[in-house]
Structures are given as structure tokens and as C-alpha cells.
Structure 1
């Protein structure tokens, strides 16, 4: 009987993602408020930078959410962001200002790149195996020199691994032998949601601790536990710590269904979270704003939440 807004994380980016946002007063206002020139963020060359990717994703997510809320009158009850998408969720919920979020993710992206400056690192999604099997593969092929960790639990049979290139190659072979459908490298130049980012988590905790505490206006789904909170302290802790801990997305999406969410809209860019939610909780109507535009998305979301009341 309620609406959730979803915000994608790194890997969902694509060239011209900010230029491709549908025209809207809210979109124009958010881009202006950001203080960034979008030409500097969303070209193919610019998106080679983790910093630029994360800034662009936050701007796109906040712009999409504000267009739905301010221009089209939608009233969400929950916000949920995957990885860096959680910063867009926190802005939408009023815990962070846009300026605070962009400063934080610029620092976050820089620190993540620094943590992975020595060696070749990345992430890969293992599909078609349960999480336990993917975790066993990570434990089997990871070494002290080439570590491998579970980074995201996205679905019952999709688990993302983080580690060195060599470990990911070995994991792909092991996953294939175990019967996985695929082991696909993500468009991510760092290893995230794993212990190599512990310094980033500490840096983020120190930075976010200096910010004012503002109660969220919408309930926030945490990355680290897959649970709902209305506490500003919990939101800020989740934003800091999730970079070094696995994202419990599957638990969180199932919880949204248990809490009565009937419709979820994925902010730009893309539709990865829409597909994951449709698979995990078929009772929730999941809509990609990128695929449907503002007006059609708002009409469908309003109809789905009204018809369920």
C-alpha cells in the first residue's frame, strides 16, 4: 500500500546519463544546485573515473526523485539506494543536503581509488548459484596475495564478488564448473564492499560525523543490514560503513514486500534494481524511470499505490 524509491549504484552508469534525463523543472534545479558541469561528468572518458561516476549517479538519482515528488506529486514512504545510490536516498530523505552528499561521495570515490591503486581490482556478478556457493568459491580461490570477498547479495542466486583480477578470473572458472549461468565483470574500476576499503569507511565516518543530524522524512533501507531505519545516526553510519561491508540488497527488497510496498520506482540511470526486485518480490510493481519517463511513471505509481489502499 506504499511506494518506495530505489537508487542504483556504480555499474549502472552510462555515457550521457545526465544529458539524457527528461526535461523537468526539478531536474534543472538539481543540476544547477549541484554546482557541477554535467559535460565534465558523463562523457565516456569522464566515467572512467570512480569519482565522476559516483557524483553523476547521485545527481541523477536526486534529480529523478525530486521530479517525481516535486513536479508530479508522488509521496514515497521508503527510500533504498544500492551502494553509492544510498547517498541519493539520504538526500531524498532529507538526511543530507545535495551539497553534503556530493562532497562526501567525491571524498569516497577518491579514497576508493587510492585503496585500489596498487594492483588490478574489480568486481563480478555470479548468477545462477546460491549465495553460499558463491561464498565458498570466494573462500576457495582467494589468497592473501589475491583476495576475494562477497560484496553484494543482490538476489537469491546473484552474488557480487570483489577482489583482484586474478582472483576474479579464477572465480569465473570455478563458478562455471559449479554450474553458474554467468560470472560477469561489472563496469567498476575498484573493489568495493570489502575489507580493502576499511580506510575509506573510517574516513567517511570521520567526515559524516561532522554533519548535522536530520531525521529522515522517508524511511531508509540500510545497505549493511537490509533493515529499515528512521534514525539519522543509523543512516550516516550505514553510509560510512557500507563501503567496507557486503550490501544486503536481497534481504532489503524482501523486507519492502513484507512492509506492504506495492510499487517501487527506480531512479535513473537504468533498470538493474527494477529487474532484481521483480524477481525477488513479484507482488511489487517495479518501474524504471529511465524506461518510462516521468509522467508515465508517476501515473502508474499513483495508480498502483491507490489501488492497493
Structure 2
């Protein structure tokens, strides 16, 4: 579907697409769909040619799948393979797109802002720079559950004022769920403080403390690569992580992708934008169903569908085509 036709089709729908970030990868992802639909492996071949190694092999074998530099292009490609299949099967064009962290690149490819080849190169570099910015084991992340956002920010400030290093709110995922990132000592101290305050804290198995000030050195280098990359204004609005707004210029796209490395992911606000704009149906376009499950908490989202298996894809296609009035 051309950019103009995609844009026109999108305006009439009540559907939004969201693309997941790191943590959604799993060995064998999309295997059943690839057996039925050639577009899946074709998309992986296209992205593999851009980065110079076999992304489908990583996705199926699991070799290196949890190493940030490989995780990022694999997840991006899986998401775009599903997006292309959705359109091939007659799925409606969404009114809005958004991606959680890394998923923002998938959203931009879907919106015609970045080519898949350029996006694959960017996220491969992004993963390398993020890994280089903080020595292995020096950073950490944790999910904090059961507190208001302001309380999490307050506790982070208490710990950061001591001698543990810094810890900051990294992902505002939903009401009562905030992920923090920082030095390992600071995150460990925060986990203990949260438990002292009768909250729940879960250390996350990550190698990089994303979306915090420790990533500023990576962002400075990454900005240079973004300047050399061809970027168009999205033909479907992409709600950005850093400000929960759609970019109005290409410069705003570049600035948001740079800032995204060290600023918080405003996912709660992104979902509020969807609700305010009359979105009722949400498709999670990538492996797993983390974002679909988060969306089920929202009163105005009638249905949230993952798309990563043939059964899930068919359920979503049928339900949304009926809901959008495309079939009776």
C-alpha cells in the first residue's frame, strides 16, 4: 500500500498499532507464520542483508538473541514482518502508531519514515553504543509496582542523593508500574527502600540500563548516525516516547530518537493519547503480548490483540474487520 493510500485509510479507523521493545524476543519467534507466509522470511532476508548477518538464524536458534546489539535488529525485523503480513492479509491501516523504546523504530518503518534497511543498521549501532556506554554489570533496571509515579521519582531522588550513583524512572508503563534504571548499586538500594515502604520491586535481567542519564554518551555518538540517515515525516502519526506527541518535522523525529536513549519512555501518556483520540482497538505488532496486556487496563480500549502467531493474527483480523465495518 502506498504512503498516500495508507495515510487516507488510516484516518477512518479506530485502531492503533504498538510495537514492543527489548524483552519480547524469544527463540523460534514467528516460525509458524513463516511456514505459511513467505513475507516473514523475505523481510528477515532484507534486514539481514543490511546488517551483514543472519537475523532469522538468531531468531530461530536463539544464539545471541539476548545480546542487545543482536536483539534490537531481530525484534525490529520481526515486528515489520508482522506489519507487512497484516497489510497483505487485508488488515486495516491504523490511525496511530507507537513503539515502546526500540519499538519506536518499528513504528517509524511502518509509517514510511525510515526504510527497513536503514532502521536495522541504526538499531544494530544503537545496541552496540548502549552496551559500550556502561560496563557489563555496572548498570541495572528494576520494575517498581504499587506506587504512584511521583512516589517512585521521590524514592529515586533519595537514593541518588547518597553515594550509590544515580537511579531514575526509565519507563512509565502504566499506573502503578514504573521501571527504573541506573547504576547497579543505586538500583539495589532503591529495591531495598521500596520494600521498606511496602512496595514491590523486581530486578530485571538486562545488560544495559536504558533510558537514563548513563546513556548520554551513547546518545551523542548516535546523533551523528541519525544525521547521516534519510528520514521522512511519518505518513501515519507516530506518538513519540519522550513527549507522547507526534513529530511535526523530520528534525523532531531525529531529536526524539536521540533523547529517547537517556529520557523516560512515556508509555502511560501515549496510551492516554490513544484514548483521547478515540482508539478502541490495539494491535501489538511483535513477539509476545506485553503491551496488549498493559492496554487491557484502559477503559476505552475495547480489544487488544497480539499478532505473533497464525491463530492470533486471524483472530485480530476477523475481530477488527468486523468492528471497523469492513466485513459484516
**Residue in 2 that maps onto 1:193:** 211
Of 1, 4, 29, the match for 1:17: 29
Q: Verify: 1:84 aligned to 2:96, yes or no.
A: no
Distance 2:180 2:202 in 1: 10
Distance 2:275 2:320 in 1: 16
Deviations 1:57-109 (A, max 9, x none): 10111111111112333211211000001111110001100110010001100
**Residue in 2 that maps onto 1:130:** 148
**Residue in 2 that maps onto 1:302:** 321
Q: 1:21 to 1:192 in 2, by over 3 A?
A: farther
Q: 1:149 to 1:103 in 2, by over 3 A?
A: same
**Residue in 2 that maps onto 1:162:** 181
Distance 2:131 2:158 in 1: 26
Aligned residues: 306
For 1:274-285, what aligned pairs fall within 5 Å after superposition?
A: 274-285=292-303
Deviation at 1:119, TM superposition (A): 4.5
Compute the TM-score of the two structures, normalised by the length of structure 2.
Answer: 0.87
**Residue in 1 that maps onto 2:39:** 26
For 1:43-192, what aligned pairs fall within 5 Å after superposition?
A: 43-117=61-135, 119-142=137-160, 143=162, 145-180=164-199, 182-192=200-210
Deviations 1:120-179 (A, max 9, x none): 212111111111111111111234543211101111211110012222222222112223
1:253–1:281: 8 Å Cα contact kept in structure 2?
no
Gaps of 5+ in 2: 1-12
Of 207, 228, 237, the match for 2:246: 228
RMSD (Å), alpha carbons:
2.0
Q: 1:46 to 1:120 in 2, by over 3 A?
A: same
Q: 1:192 to 1:284 in 2, by over 3 A?
A: same
1:220–1:230: 8 Å Cα contact kept in structure 2?
no
Deviation at 1:226, TM superposition (A): 1.1
Radius of gyration: which is bigger? 2
Secondary structure in structure 1 of the residue aligned to 2:172: strand
Q: 1:185 to 1:119 in 2, by over 3 A?
A: closer
Distance 1:140 1:43 in 2: 43
Gaps of 5+ in 1: none
Deviation at 1:25, TM superposition (A): 3.3
Of 302, 306, 309, the match for 1:288: 306
Deviation at 1:41, TM superposition (A): 4.6
